Structure 1
């Protein structure tokens, strides 16, 4: 009799647990259905189903928030200037995350700022094993920046710090043992104003955060002749028909702008424009194209403007124009330390008709140097988003990027 009662109790418990799980899943689905896709609340509800998230809030107690995921190397998945119902700025690969599967070569989970390492190609590449040719079949993103979770060492309401350790071998057979530390901190309005050297935001809502990224050498001294590493930050954002990337360049250190615009072949003239000291690239997620600006020509800012939604995005990053920057093209390099400081990418269909996105990217690279044991590379980047009336956005764009909002909106018309 007691045995039968125990079985009945166990069965009842399992039934209750199952019912609760179904109820919770139903409630979660219901929450998602009430939220509109493209909003911050929708993305938070989605991510919470599959990963543990960290939500950071602006110290101003405004609606500015950001979502971080330690399992995705402490990346910033998305942010908003206006709470749960506000626009979500980061591109998220819902299908891949929902599948729970890992893809070959790279897992494009999305996120508006992810931590990567360089170089990608060349004799010192860490994406191609020794003896392998530089083609897609042999390209493999190192696990430490693809599938390995970072540990959360510190966190509070407005910041979080992530750490990891890795051993990586490059295409020349040289091995690196490194420690990675990455801290994300939300910025308040005074920090936004001082960081961009602007007087006021006008009629704009804003969100901004800073990432401080360090790679520490815990093994033998790095040498230029056997390869060195760099820090590479990439942000994936939501494209629209009216989104344009803005990449200002400087003529102080080089009369001729050092710009690369043929990574995937020639970009059609209706998709790229060079006017005065700015490169404009169409960011509609419909044509695969990429540009790079060398450190001697780059400025420490770049951005994008979506005239359809009235969203201005700016990245601001560490720039050391006299130092070495790693080259990442898929070939053996004559000068492997003559790479880009800034890259921008518009997604599009591959030759087989498939497409990862659509999204567009703003990317910054650190310089590199021969680290002794115990020394570190440090690369900082700030990401800002502004939403508001065109006049206020124009004031910010003119001051920071040197271009008029109307010019951006009309450049490809």
Structure 2
């Protein structure tokens, strides 16, 4: 979940959400039928693999599967919010909907930073408080235009204006292409053979922002970043794993930032010499982050009950202006943010329900110091593999540097 915004969302959760919030346990075909009842869905298919994309929700990938007929739905979908739909100013909104519509979805487009003097979620003069926090419409309620579609890809576009906390205006063109990857693509991109009885769905989103204004974007007045977040169904048997570079903290930054919502306890975070494990069970709220210097451009998770190994990668690129910082305060280091994050949802306090529950894997682009008509791209690829441990273990070892057993038994 985005930094500290979960605190905001959960303040009003009891007034907005019914008991049935998560679609965990639903199959893909059931979720697809549900989505089609409420909005336009762009369905991409390649053999048995499928991805459901919703233009009205900023072209987010709502869910995917490796078996379109009877396979699981791999993204978390917030049915009550989708059923309510977007409410007009004349309709009664819950406190939560005044600030964000949490539709869910396993891969969505956002822009950073969230907090700080260059925040996009706090207008000029606003205090860094819940009552004055609001998700920009461009990444919350505005639809993206579908420009082109094939059987396995879809291209979207959106144009918007944004004003940050310091009063800087950004005129932004957003281009987003969602493309299914076949087994040959995945094998080549990951550098591993994929064989046996392995089932797979994989896709990439090619995300681009362009400075469509007449003035350069400069660090002194605030920069934007592309921020991709994915919500997944949690389970007691799901653990996240993120490999990282070991080394001196003065050069690479902290091994892990685990203080977003207070320090994560040892029973939810285990840090090794070159990898960390983090629970994705949806039972305790917490978030961790890895600096760009430590990131290897990859994160993963394993659902031992469903025998699904999830891999997320992104295009590692030079970051001369650093990564935007989303902390809710006036910052000494506004470009010392994280490149990769993971979030585990849970109850904010005794007696109150979680937002989902769900867990997230997130990646961010560098801060974009762009001249007029200049663009920055951030490409994220998501791979879901289903098979026996014998099928999945070589993939985990090669990509994440740890065995499947190590992930499964980390806690």
Question: Contact 2:76/2:232 (CA < 8 Å) preserved in 1?
Answer: yes
Distance in 2, matches of 1:245 and 1:37, equals: 20
Measure how far apart 1:101 and its partner are. Answer: 4.1
Question: Contact 1:296/1:322 (CA < 8 Å) preserved in 2?
Answer: no
Measure how far apart 1:192 and its partner are. Answer: 0.5
Question: Contact 2:257/2:288 (CA < 8 Å) preserved in 1?
Answer: yes
Moved more, 364-373 or 230-239: 364-373
Distance in 2, matches of 1:321 and 1:222, equals: 17
Bigger relative contact order (CA 8 A; separation at least 6): 2
Question: 1:64 is matched with which residue?
Answer: 49
CA RMSD of aligned residues (A): 1.6
Q: Could you list the per-position Cα deviations for residues 348-381 of structure 1 after superposition, in whole angstroms to 9, with x for gaps in the alignment? A: 1124724210000000000123211000111001
Question: 1:14 is matched with which residue?
Answer: none
Question: 1:146 is matched with which residue?
Answer: 140
Question: Contact 1:37/1:43 (CA < 8 Å) preserved in 2?
Answer: no
Distance 1:101 1:64, change over 3 A: same
Distance in 2, matches of 1:195 and 1:350, equals: 39
Distance in 1, matches of 2:279 and 2:346, equals: 11
Question: 2:15 is matched with which residue?
Answer: none
Distance in 2, matches of 1:237 and 1:321, equals: 29
Question: Contact 1:302/1:401 (CA < 8 Å) preserved in 2?
Answer: yes
Question: Contact 2:319/2:366 (CA < 8 Å) preserved in 1?
Answer: no
Q: Could you list the per-position Cα deviations for residues 112-155 of structure 1 after superposition, in whole angstroms to 9, with x for gaps in the alignment? A: 10000000010000001111111222110000000000000111
- How many residue pairs align between the two structures? 375
Question: Contact 2:252/2:291 (CA < 8 Å) preserved in 1?
Answer: no
TM-score (norm: length of structure 2): 0.89
Q: Could you list the per-position Cα deviations for residues 43-92 of structure 1 after superposition, in whole angstroms to 9, with x for gaps in the alignment? A: 0010010001011012xxx2100000000000000000112210110000
Q: Could you list the per-position Cα deviations for residues 193-228 of structure 1 after superposition, in whole angstroms to 9, with x for gaps in the alignment? A: 011110223331000001100000011111110001
Measure how far apart 1:258 and its partner are. Answer: 3.6
Map of 1:310-325 to 2, 5 A cutoff? Answer: 310-320=307-317, 322-323=319-320, 324-325=322-323
Distance 1:37 1:258, change over 3 A: closer
Measure how far apart 1:257 and its partner are. Answer: 4.7
Q: Could you list the per-position Cα deviations for residues 228-284 of structure 1 after superposition, in whole angstroms to 9, with x for gaps in the alignment? A: 100000000000001001111113684665420010001111110012211111111
Distance in 2, matches of 1:319 and 1:331, equals: 28
Distance in 1, matches of 2:293 and 2:253, equals: 10
Distance in 1, matches of 2:253 and 2:135, equals: 34
Structure 1: gaps (5+ residues) = 1-35
Measure how far apart 1:321 and its partner are. Answer: 5.6
Question: Contact 1:42/1:84 (CA < 8 Å) preserved in 2?
Answer: no
Which structure is larger by alpha-carbon Rg, 1 or 2? 1
2:165 matched to 1:177? Answer: no
Moved more, 274-283 or 225-234: 274-283
SS at match of 1:304: strand
Question: Contact 1:206/1:386 (CA < 8 Å) preserved in 2?
Answer: yes
Question: 1:26 is matched with which residue?
Answer: none
SS at match of 1:343: strand
